Amino acid sequence: MVAVYIIIGVVVVLLIIFLVLYNGLVRLRNQVKNSWAQIDVQLKRRYDLIPNLMETVKGYMKHERETLEAVTKARNLAQQVSSAGAGERAKAEGELSSALSRLLAVVERYPDLKANQNFLALQEELTSTENKISFSRQFYNDSVLRYNNQTQMVPSNIVAGMTGFKASEFFEVTVAAEREAPKVSFT
Amino acid sequence: MWEQIRSNQIRSVVLTIGMGALLILIGYLLGLYFFDSAIVGLVIAILVWTVLSLVGYFQGDSILLSMSRAKKIKRDDHPRLYNVVEEMKIASGLEKMPNIYIIDDPALNAFATGRDPNRASVAITSGLLQKLNRDELQGVIAHEISHIKNRDVLLMAMCSILLGTIVILAWYGSRFLIFGSMTGSRRSSSSGGGGGAQLIILVVALVFMILAPIVAQLIYFAISRKREYLADASAALYTRYPEGLASALEKLGTSTGQLKSANKATAPMYIINPFRKKGMKASDLSSTHPPISERIRILRAMAGASFNDYDQAYRKAHRGEGVIPAASIAAETVPIATINLEGEAGEPNEIQRARETSDVMWRLSNYNTITCDCGAKLRVPPKFKEPIIKCPHCGRTHQV
């Protein structure tokens, strides 16, 4: 009789441990999903800002057609792959970031543009959106790290294996220029 | 990494329990002395504390904000401030955007309030807002958001209420004790015997009444100081840029202005101690906050931006004693972001920031601003009823 109680006790304890670990994994996976959605929001915001920026800048920068086209092209490409996985997407977004920083670098040559109130407001929005993208990426990668650790470490990896939790992909920046300057520099 | 401030929370809880024990002891002694029953004293002490706590819990943030005459802003009022707060909200993983307030005061300070992370507010003085560039503002806001994220705000509010209760009870208790012993108006039932023993109780009780608030205050300050270091560490981690906060603290440290609307109980809520002696620099010794120079030194000594790096830097400054609980130190490397301070073109300089901030303050007081062609700015008060206003500088007329 005592043996039966011990077995029941052990089973109950194991079940509780299993549930706690499982819930922990679910919580972490949801956080990864949520923080991915956060990046998405900011990237979309950047797609929306770029046409406005082009509209404002066009009149002033007649001799920078190539730079402007590069931004528009990078934006459209990034929008096209926006449903792809983290890896491919990060590459396209990296291109867009560097095209944008090239554009904002040449702004220095146009004092009229720098005095434009509309442009200054846009510039603040753009700086902030770039920051928000890198902060949400930072939070996303931290969440992925924690989630992946949980799916790979003993004992939660057993639960993860049984219930199908798979490791997530990091959102790494692949363009070298972007890695050097995470913030848009307007100098 | 983010939620693992837990073990430090346990430490704070232990200290808080210590304060609670002090309160109970006071109630016990008061009850024993005045009512001949410890229970009555305990009930009174706990009742006073409960009432104050309930008020503090539900109304604390709005009381604090209205006491400091803070004005709530929207995104359009000050886009840069709003954006910086939103950036830090994202970096910290906070779920809801905190309310943002500006205090119209030239003193340099900021604080966070709100009983839980979903009902949080951050407030900043207009003086600080115009003094800081974007990266420094980010550092200060990150520090405040860390207070919200680490749940320091509620803990400190509850601790200050506990402290307040102890101070109130000890104050009245000691007055009654002195007054009662002088006039001999104590209960007549015990006047029969044991005059000597009674005197000893009286002296012990008196000494205790005097010491209790001091001890409570010391505990309170110990909790508060620890939390400041932790918030600095989190701010460095969120921004990946300790220099932003360090540089902001440097500016805060050289200021000499006192915040008019702060009081002793709310002091630990602010980023630097608002009660420096008049004319004294904030970098001089302050008790609710660690010395600013030391906070700057630690931030600047960080090799990376992780908790581990902060802990290493702290250990160097404190001969080996760490500040961050071992459980939350992950052995990962977090590089510091490369940002050029004061270097970003298009960022408003200090004069532009001052104009921008004063525009916001006028607008928040419902003044209508009209910019005349001659460059003068007319501030039209809300009570102004005329349809047309004349520029006092050049004489042009404007529609209101």
Contacts of B338 in chain A (CB under 8 A): 180-182
Residue where the block lists tokens 């052990």: A10
Measured between alpha carbons, how far is A95 from A76 in angstroms, rounded to an integer? Answer: 11
* Predicted TM-score (pTM) of this structure: 0.79
- Is it the case that residue B328 has pLDDT exceeding 70? no
- Is it the case that residue B286 has pLDDT exceeding 70? no
Return the half-sphere exposure (C-beta side, CA atoms, 13 A cut-off) of residue B248.
Answer: 31
Measured between alpha carbons, how far is B242 from B391 in angstroms, rounded to an integer? Answer: 47
User: Which regions of A76-168 does DSSP assign to beta strands (E)?
Assistant: none
| pLDDT score recorded for residue B139 | 94
Q: Which of A76, A82, A31 is nearest to A54 (CA)?
A: A76
Touching B: A residues 54-113, CB under 8 Å? 107-108
Domain borders along chain B are 6-328, 367-400
pLDDT in tens, B331-359: 566 777 755 444 455 577 778 888 888 88
Question: Cα B293 vs. chain centroid, distance in angstroms?
Answer: 19
| Amino acid residing at B98 | P
pLDDT in tens, B98-130: 999 999 888 888 889 888 888 899 999 998 998
| Amino acid residing at B197 | A
| pLDDT score recorded for residue B247 | 92
Beta strands B388-390 and B99-103 are unpaired
Q: What is the residue-level pLDDT of chain A in tens, covering all 187 positions?
A: 889 999 999 999 999 999 999 999 999 999 999 888 888 889 889 899 998 888 888 888 877 888 888 889 999 988 888 777 777 788 888 888 888 888 888 887 888 887 788 888 888 888 889 889 889 988 998 889 889 988 888 888 888 888 888 888 887 765 444 444 444 444 4
Contacts of A182 in chain B (CB under 8 A): 337-339
Touching B: A residues 102-161, CB under 8 Å? 107-108, 114, 120-121, 123-125, 127-128, 131-132, 135-136, 138-139, 142-143, 145-146
Q: Which of B162, B181, B161 is nearest to B173 (CA)?
A: B181
**Length of chain B measured in residues:** 400
Q: Do A135 and B88 touch (CB under 8 A)?
A: yes
Beta strands B110-113 and B121-125 are antiparallel
- By the 8 A CB rule, do A141 and A170 touch? yes
Residue A25, min C-alpha distance to chain B (Å): 15
What the block records as the tokens of A156 is 């939660």
CB neighbour list of residue B250: distance below 8 Å, 6 or more residues apart = B292, B296
Q: Which domains does chain A have, with CATH numbers?
A: 2-180 (1.20.1440.20)
Going edge to edge, which strands form the sheet with B70-73?
B70-73, B99-103, B121-125, B110-113
| pLDDT score recorded for residue B183 | 58
Pick from A123, A138, A145, A153 the residue to mutate for testing the B interface (most B CBs within 10 Å).
Answer: A138
| pLDDT score recorded for residue B144 | 93
pLDDT in tens, B193-227: 456 767 777 787 778 778 887 777 777 777 777 78
